[in-house]
Amino acid sequence: MKRRDFIKLSMAAGTAVLLPDFSYAKELDISQITFSSGINTTNNAQTIIIFMYGGASQLGGNLSNIEEIKTASQSNYDNYFRGLTPTANKCWQEAGGTHMESLLANGDMTLFRCCYSKVREENNNKSHGSCTAQNQKGSFDEDSAGILANLAQILESNAVVNENTLMPFITLEGESKFYIEGQKPLSGYLKPVGLTEDLENPYSRDERDWRYYTPQERDIPDYNDDPA
């Protein structure tokens, strides 16, 4: 499935993206969290988090500083992408931005953006790897848990999920920093189940072939034949 198609399909499910404020604490203190079981019961709440990073993917949800990016870039963004139109909330219209606007207007999605950080400026560290890890934890503390690990423990503490819950957490990108444990170990059944974009086992034999970047390339005759 193509990235844009996946974004449209995932967001069309009408679920909200939640990044809880408590994840900014160094250590999760469940006793300080007020949990509303009524919201979960009434709405049968589900969460899909789409974390856009790498290449131009993050621009889908954030064109707020695109003019600054164009000025600083050695490449011509307008010529390359053939359309960089900001929506009312500065999403990328040609890359699913219209659908994002609809979800925002209906209250079915919450949009969170990474922004300037004084901590990163003072440490002279804006590398892609460290910024991604910090954003997935919601913290600059290297020992803190991931946002979804914190969410999992809150749901467990309030008896929303238990060892009988069927796959409470699913990931399409492996065990990222979203699920990393902090000072409190995560129960085994709260750890995510990995699936492919086709909802299959990503670790099965021959599931992925490094020679092909997309499934469509498999249908091209002699695509990877050695010319020699």
pLDDT per residue over 54-91, tens digit each?
778 888 889 998 999 899 888 888 888 888 999 999 99
pLDDT of residue 20: 41
Q: Which residue has the tokens 């990016």?
A: 69
pLDDT of residue 67: 92
Burial class (CB in 10 A: 0-12, 13-18, 19+), 122: exposed
pLDDT of residue 46: 76
Answer whether residue 127 shows pLDDT above 50: yes
Domain boundary among 113, 144, 159: 113
Q: Are residues 3 and 87 in the same domain?
A: yes
Which of helix, strand or coil describes residue 186? coil
Indicate the range of 41-50, 115-124, 192-201, 217-226 predicted with least confidence: 217-226
> Which residues span the domain enclosing 133?
125-218
Total of domains in the chain: 2
Q: What length is written for the chain?
A: 228
Domain boundary among 90, 113, 136: 113
pLDDT of residue 194: 87
pLDDT of residue 37: 75
Q: Are residues 150 and 90 in the same domain?
A: no
Q: Is residue 179 assigned to a domain?
A: yes
Answer whether residue 4 shows pLDDT above 50: no
Q: Are residues 75 and 170 in the same domain?
A: no
What integer is the mean pLDDT of 21-50?
70
Q: Are residues 160 and 200 in the same domain?
A: yes
Structure tokens at 150: 């914190």
Q: How far is CA 100 from CA 2, 72, 131, in A?
A: 17, 27, 24
Q: Are residues 138 and 177 in the same domain?
A: yes
